[in-house]
């Protein structure tokens, strides 16, 4: 085994004492900091290919060195043409996996263009490999296009491919890594994101100064000597020197402020153009910073779980007046990594044809006989996953946010995991918005218009005999189906039954369409308060309140 050991400044070979768990270092092959080193036997000699970080002006992705020997244990003789690829000569020079032999020809795998870990795979056919000569040409490397785009397993980058022929000689097997999260670890991403936020703050202050909305002159009284008792740590000369430096700094800042202050007249046509351009830059930088801070997700490739897969079904309820929402909804969310299929609960009007919905996963339209909010939780034997994401068709959020919520649900599959928290308390109970819950620092409900749940548990509870009167109340008010489900979960458990995950951003498209049932907020809240009173009489109180920022990953801040 020849693991990466470039930080030790050498290339080491390990021998198995008890394969595959126990190893011992056998010898140092080369005293050079090599990365992505591979050994292959071809046309007689053994060949060692790697990138030498000790070479002058080394660029990790753009240099390749070769050694040869009659034994894999060495001694290794450098190739006459080292460095084979020099800076700027070729992309893909750094190895991206073991070479392989096909039809008598040697093929080398290289890392494509990108950062330290590469963003793609390139394959080269080695035409000449001799101790004093090396020549290769790139050949097409084709991998089926992932329909989910950047949310696919290798949507962001991939940098390693290993293909080997099976003993039967008929088939080949390949192993390839992939990453759906942009490059950079969490610390790097947070640092970059907050730096961009700092740029936004500086631009806001600069814009405020340029249009005269912010006074950039600092008062000189800030640097006047204080009259309190002299500190024992500084003598008079030291204090005077510090005050002098402070006054000089404030004076220079005030001069700079006077130079930029009021330089743009935002009432003129030209001034308005300047302001609009800066505002657009602010929006773009803010969005990029938010992406770095909240980017990445908990998505995993689907794996078997008790005969089912670790994906979820996205379920939405809609009708004919919201068809334009639905088309955008399906096209966007079908590309999210863990979405297996989409179920559209059609409550009213002529349902769309399947061809009208652009999706990369199967879409099933379930036409209901009655226009009822209870249809959201109808028992459905055709749902193949344990997890269901109930999501209103007018809510748009990022796939990363969806994946984070799914990751939290996998940690707590017995709970409702949602994105819109509410706190119901008092006597009688009163329904309030999210702002109230945040002011109190806690919540005890999550709206099921954007929530993960175990449909086998949730839907059965909703259609149980105990919930029959509650369902009748939902139909009479045409409201409160999510409030009822929260009470049913609370009635079945003594522990916390809900958990909140904060999305980076979410847009309520109903504000643009005007077809939301809750567009009259006060009336909507009044009806929900009535539901709270009735449900609390039938099902008791809600469970103990949960607090914001109680998760270790801060996804509920």
For 199-235, how does the pLDDT look when each residue is reduced to its tens digit (9 = 90+)?
Answer: 988 888 877 777 766 665 555 555 555 554 555 554 5
- The DSSP line for 313-335 is EEEEEE-GGGHHHHHHHHHHHTT
Q: Looking at residue 177, what is its pLDDT?
A: 86
Closest CA to 537 of 428, 444, 421: 428
Structure tokens at 526: 């009044």
- The pLDDT assigned to 116 comes to 45
* Residue positions annotated with a catalytic role: 482
User: Cα angle at 446 between 443 and 449, to 5 degrees?
Assistant: 155
CATH of 6-176, one of 2.115.10.20, 3.10.310.30, 2.40.50.140, 3.40.50.280: 2.115.10.20
- What is the mean pLDDT, run by run of 10 residues, along the chain of 557 residues? 89 95 94 91 93 66 85 92 66 85 92 61 92 91 80 79 88 86 65 88 80 61 53 57 67 60 71 84 88 67 68 93 87 91 92 89 93 94 94 90 90 93 88 92 93 95 94 95 93 82 82 58 91 91 82 81
Q: Which of 386, 341, 335, 409 is nearest to 153 (CA)?
A: 335
Work out whether strand 77-78 and strand 172-176 pair parallel, antiparallel, or are unpaired: unpaired
Question: Quick count: other Cβ atoms within 10 Å of Cβ 134?
Answer: 20
CA distance 501 to 383: 24
CA neighbours closer than 13 Å in the CB half-sphere of residue 256 = 9
- How many other C-beta atoms lie within 10 A of the C-beta of residue 169? 7
The single residue listed with the structure tokens 């218009």 is: 449
Q: Report the DSSP pairing between strands 416-418 and 450-454.
A: antiparallel
Fold classification of 312-547 is Spore Coat Polysaccharide Biosynthesis Protein SpsA; Chain A (3.90.550)
* pTM of the complete model: 0.69
- Cβ density class 373-396: b for 16+ within 10 Å, e for less: bbbbbbeeeebebbbbbbbbbbbb
Residue 534's H or E segment, with its range, is helix 521-539
Q: Which two tokens stand for residue 51?
A: 């990138």
Of 169, 100, 174, 113, which Cα lies nearest the Cα of 143? 174
Q: Quickly count: other Cβ atoms within 10 Å of residue 340's Cβ.
A: 18
Gap between the Cα atoms of 173 and 161, Å rounded: 11
pLDDT of 62: 67
Domain ranges of the chain: 6-176, 185-220+250-294, 312-547
pLDDT value at residue 400: 84
Contacts of 155 (CB under 8 A, 6+ apart): 146, 148, 149, 178, 179, 180
Distance CA(497)–CA(445), nearest Å, equals: 9
> What is the helix (H) or strand (E) element at residue 474, kind and residue range?
helix 468-477
Structure tokens at 162: 């290993």
Estimate the share of the chain in helix, then strand, then coil, as percent rounded to the nearest 5. Answer: 35, 25, 45
Phi-psi region of 44 (alpha: psi -120 to 50; beta: other; left: phi over 0): left
Give CA–CA dist 430/427, Å, rounded: 8
What does the pLDDT read at residue 310? 84
* Alpha-carbon span 172 to 376, nearest angstrom: 47
Question: 400, 291 in Cβ contact below 8 A?
Answer: no
- CA 377 vs. chain centroid, Å, equals 29
The upper half-sphere exposure of residue 39, i.e. CA atoms within 13 Å in the direction of its Cβ, equals: 19
Using CA atoms, how far apart are residues 524 and 514, in angstroms rounded to an integer?
15
């Amino acid at each position: 085994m020849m693991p990466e050991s470039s930080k030790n400044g050498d290339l080491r070979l390990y021998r198995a004492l008890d394969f595959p768990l126990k190893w011992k270092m056998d010898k140092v092959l080369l005293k050079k900091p090599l990365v992505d080193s591979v050994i292959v036997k071809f046309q007689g000699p053994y060949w060692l290919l790697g990138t030498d970080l000790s070479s002058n002006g080394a660029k990790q992705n753009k240099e390749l060195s070769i050694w040869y020997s009659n034994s894999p244990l060495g001694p290794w003789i450098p190739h006459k043409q080292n460095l084979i690829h020099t800076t700027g000569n070729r992309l893909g020079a750094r190895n991206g996996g073991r070479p392989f032999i096909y039809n008598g020809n040697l093929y080398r795998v290289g890392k494509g263009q990108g950062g330290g870990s590469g963003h793609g795979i390139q394959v080269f056919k080695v035409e000449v490999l001799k101790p004093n000569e090396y020549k290769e040409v790139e050949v097409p490397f084709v991998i089926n296009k992932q329909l989910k785009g950047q949310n696919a397993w290798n949507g962001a980058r991939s940098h390693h491919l290993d293909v080997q022929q099976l003993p039967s000689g008929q088939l080949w097997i390949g192993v390839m890594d992939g990453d759906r999260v942009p490059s950079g670890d969490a610390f790097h991403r947070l640092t970059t994101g907050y730096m961009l936020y700092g740029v936004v703050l500086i631009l806001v202050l600069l814009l405020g100064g340029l249009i005269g909305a912010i006074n950039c002159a600092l008062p000189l009284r800030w640097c006047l000597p204080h009259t309190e008792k002299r500190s024992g740590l500084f003598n008079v000369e030291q204090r005077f020197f510090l005050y002098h430096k402070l006054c000089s700094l404030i004076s220079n800042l005030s001069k700079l402020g006077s130079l930029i202050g009021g330089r743009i007249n935002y009432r003129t046509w030209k001034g308005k153009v300047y302001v609009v351009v800066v505002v657009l830059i602010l929006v773009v930088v803010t969005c990029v910073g938010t992406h770095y801070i909240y980017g990445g997700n908990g998505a995993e490739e689907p794996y078997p779980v008790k005969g089912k897969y670790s994906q979820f079904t996205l379920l939405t309820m809609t009708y004919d007046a919201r068809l334009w929402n639905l088309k955008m909804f399906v096209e966007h969310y079908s590309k999210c990594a863990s979405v297996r299929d989409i179920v559209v609960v059609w409550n009213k009007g002529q349902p769309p044809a399947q061809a009208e919905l652009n999706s990369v996963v199967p879409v099933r339209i379930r036409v209901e006989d009655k226009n009822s909010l209870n249809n959201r939780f109808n028992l459905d034997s055709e749902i193949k996953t344990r997890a269901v994401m109930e999501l209103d068709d007018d809510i748009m959020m990022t796939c990363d946010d969806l994946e984070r919520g799914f990751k939290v649900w996998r940690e707590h599959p017995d709970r409702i995991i949602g994105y819109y928290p509410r706190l119901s308390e008092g006597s009688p109970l009163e329904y309030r918005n999210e702002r109230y819950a945040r002011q109190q620092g806690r919540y005890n409900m999550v709206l099921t218009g954007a929530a993960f749940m175990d449909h086998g548990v949730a839907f059965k509870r909703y259609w149980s005999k105990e919930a029959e009167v509650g369902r009748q109340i939902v139909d009479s008010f045409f409201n409160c189906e999510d409030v009822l489900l929260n009470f049913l979960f609370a009635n079945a458990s003594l522990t916390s039954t809900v958990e909140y995950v904060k999305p980076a951003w979410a847009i309520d498209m109903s504000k643009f369409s005007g077809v939301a049932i809750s567009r009259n907020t006060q009336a909507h809240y009044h009806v929900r308060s009535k539901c709270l009173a009735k449900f609390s009489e039938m099902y008791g109180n809600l469970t103990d309140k949960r607090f914001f920022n109680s998760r270790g990953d801060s996804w509920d801040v």
